[in-house]
Structure 1
Amino acid sequence: MSKQPIGIFDSGVGGTSVFKEIEALLPNENTIYLADSANAPYGDKSAEDILKLSIKNTELLLSKNCKLIVVACNTATTNAITTLRASYNVPFIGIEPAIKPASLNSKTKAVGILATKGTLSSELFHNTTNLYKNDVQVIEQIGEGIVPLIEAGKTLSRDMRALLTTYLKPMIDANIDYLVLGCTHYPYLLPLLLDILPNHVKIIDSGEAVARQTKTILETQHIINTQPKPASHKFYTNGNTEVMHFLLNNKYAVEYLRF
């Protein structure tokens, strides 16, 4: 079983930021990545629709013999992972906005979170935020329009800069010292974010933490791949293959798949 692939799915190409962290930490692991770009973004969909899409993605990965599934989508994690874990007999790794480290380490007692509507409105997100915000002001911002621009290959465009400038202004005015990225698409915005934000603001995403948790679960379940052979990585999208090629630095083949 250890040679079976890790399955990874996202509402689109954003979860490739998580894949890169997993690949770096677990170089022996084979992976299969699903980008459900035809249905992106998940963030403006109902909880019922997000669950249906997550089940569809999960069953496709299981049909390809995946031993563990990483839900590389904040919206799908917060809305669907509890049901997925109860329904399927494989480990699931989810991703949540890193509110805890931001809140515990903030000196200005103000942190910003940029995320989708589906994540910010979920019960799981609110429960986590309430646990850790204490006396810290949390400025939430729905990143409406960001995912479609990234999926269209306009990650660092003028339109994106204009959107981010508008979304970040209230956070800058509130003197945040941490910005939490609550969507796996958003790490690709780092060049713009670093340019717009004051120098003292630290940016946190959850990709590295997901990779560490994946390794822990593989070890505790005794399904980690110790074979020294080169790993196999397969990428499938029902959207634009060229955008994924670009984000993967043209290192891997990307196959169009209707699903």
Structure 2
Amino acid sequence: MRKSTDPIGVFDSGIGGLTVVREIMRELPDESIIYFGDTARVPYGTKSKETIEKFAVEDVEFLLKFNVKIIVSACFTVSSNAMDVLRGKFNIPIFDMIEPGVRAVKRTGKRRIGIIGTYATIESRAYEKRIREEVPDAEIFTRPAPLFVPLAEEGKTRGKIAELVVEEYLKELKGRVEVLVLGCTHYPLLKETIKDFMEEVILVEPGKEVAGMLKEYLGKEGLLSSGPPRYSFYLSDIPRKFGEIGERFLGRKLEGIRVVREWIT
């Protein structure tokens, strides 16, 4: 039986999911959160679909040890490649990052849609399929943007280097799209540089949208917590400069970090 005081579980292939946790903290400040980042096996975006599914199952199994009341797959790669497997195996609500993006796109009323993400997210065509179901006459343009990830982690989100990489990836989309979906947890850190280059384009951040969807769902189910919140962060490895990177992504001091390795295969 789920209780309102039970935590929200969030997992990602690495530390990018902390940008989603940041939005959940803003929208639901009284909720406790358990975060797991599979930093020993990042990135998922270059793995096979079978491997992504296997890792995703293990991530959820880990979070279930903490009696979470709901789970968020903050990993776009898992969200676009493994949700059928997860929902078929586990009897707990699991929110992905595709539906929030689709909902936000539909709300704009626009028809020319751009999507950027990892190779696995783009190749899955998960966003394309769902957007076409909701916006049948949409024109959809996709582009993988893998170098946005190291730029975000190195803090190089503004300046000449970021501008050159943004231009390289987005020049074919500029002038062709009205909405751009930031289909990776790292990409919101580059949104100002992306905005400057893309000018009038509406940027969709699924992390913001999923936080609102969580609030709606928990309210409807009578599972909203009244606090106080507790935060725990688990990683399968401690990357170099993790403290600096993690605090940049989370937007606050990162405390209560624990490393778990025994279940990683």
TM-score range, shorter chain: 0.7 to 0.9
Superposed displacement of residue 159, structure 1: 4.2
Superposed displacement of residue 16, structure 1: 1.7
Structure 2 equivalent of residue 67 of structure 1: 69
Structure 2 equivalent of residue 42 of structure 1: 44
Structure 2 equivalent of residue 53 of structure 1: 55
Residue aligned with 2:116, SS: strand
Superposed displacement of residue 197, structure 1: 1.8
Q: Could you tell me how far apart the structure 1 residues matched to 2:77 and 2:51 are? A: 11
Contact 2:15–2:246 (Cα < 8 Å) also in 1: yes
Choose which of 172, 192, 195 in structure 1 pairs with 2:174: 172
Superposed displacement of residue 256, structure 1: 4.6
Q: After TM superposition, list the pairs within 5 Å mapping 1:1-259 onto structure 2.
A: 1-96=3-98, 98-99=101-102, 101-102=104-105, 105=108, 109-122=111-124, 124-156=126-158, 158-174=160-176, 176-198=177-199, 200-226=200-226, 229-237=227-235, 238-240=237-239, 241-242=242-243, 243-253=245-255, 255-259=257-261
Residue aligned with 1:37, SS: coil
Contact 1:51–1:80 (Cα < 8 Å) also in 2: yes
Q: Could you tell me how far apart the structure 2 residues matched to 1:35 and 1:3 are? A: 23
Structure 2: where are the runs of 5+ without partners?
none
Q: Could you tell me how far apart the structure 2 residues matched to 1:217 and 1:23 are? A: 16
Residue aligned with 2:172, SS: helix
Residue aligned with 2:30, SS: coil
**TM-score scaled by length of structure 1:** 0.87
Superposed displacement of residue 91, structure 1: 1.4
Q: Could you tell me how far apart the structure 2 residues matched to 1:103 and 1:71 are? A: 21
Superposed displacement of residue 101, structure 1: 4.5
Q: Could you tell me how far apart the structure 2 residues matched to 1:223 and 1:61 are? A: 18
Cα deviations across residues 211-254 of structure 1 (Å, max 9, x unaligned)?
A: 1221233234333223xx43111122324322102322342315
**TM-score scaled by length of structure 2:** 0.85
Q: Could you tell me how far apart the structure 2 residues matched to 1:217 and 1:111 are? A: 27
Cα deviations across residues 98-129 of structure 1 (Å, max 9, x unaligned)?
A: 2454367466x432111122122225334213
Residue aligned with 2:81, SS: helix
Superposed displacement of residue 32, structure 1: 0.9
Letter paired with 1:138: I
Number of residue equivalences? 254
Higher mean alpha-carbon deviation, 246-255 vs 86-95, is at 246-255
Give the root-mean-square deviation of aligned CA atoms.
Answer: 2.4
Cα deviations across residues 113-170 of structure 1 (Å, max 9, x unaligned)?
A: 1112212222533421332453332110011232244345544465443222111100
Higher mean alpha-carbon deviation, 57-66 vs 143-152, is at 143-152
Superposed displacement of residue 22, structure 1: 1.3
Distance 1:76 1:184, change over 3 A: same
